[in-house]
A and B are shown apart, each in its own frame.
Chain A
Amino acid sequence: MRVYETTFILNPQTDDATLDKQVESVASLITSNGGKILAENRMGTRRLAYPIRKLNQGYYTTLIYEAPPDFPPKLDRMFRLEEEFLRHLTILFEGDLKKILSKQEQEEPESKPKAETKEAPAESEAAPEKAETTAPEPQAEEPVKTEETEPPAVEEPKTETAEATAPKEEPATPEIEEQYKPVDEDDVL
Chain B
Amino acid sequence: MKRRKFCYFCENRIVTPDYKDERILRRFVNERGKIIPRRISGNCAAHQRKLTNAIKRARIMAIMAFESESFR
Residue of A nearest to B24 (CB): A173
Knowing A184-B30, A188-B30 are in contact, say whether A43-B20 is a contact too (CB < 8 A).
yes
Residues of chain B at interface, number, CB under 8 A = 28
* Residue among B5, B27, B31 with most chain A CB within 10 A: B27
Selected from A7, A176, A184, A188, the residue in CB contact (under 8 A) with B20 is: A7
Q: Does A183 contact B (CB under 8 A)?
A: yes
State the Cβ distance, B42 to closest chain A Cβ, in Å.
8
Q: Is the CB of B13 within 8 A of A89?
A: no
Residues of chain A at interface, number, CB under 8 A = 30
Selected from B8, B12, B40, B65, the residue in CB contact (under 8 A) with A50 is: B65
Knowing A168-B12, A186-B40 are in contact, say whether A9-B27 is a contact too (CB < 8 A).
no
Q: Is the CB of B62 within 8 A of A9?
A: yes
A49-B65, A187-B30 are known contacts; what are 17 more A-B pairs with Cβ within 8 Å? A7-B61, A9-B61, A43-B20, A49-B63, A58-B62, A60-B20, A86-B62, A87-B61, A87-B62, A94-B16, A164-B13, A168-B13, A176-B12, A177-B27, A183-B42, A184-B30, A187-B40
B interface residue numbers (CB < 8 A to A): 5, 8, 12-13, 15-16, 18-20, 23-24, 27, 30-31, 36, 40-42, 57, 59-66, 68
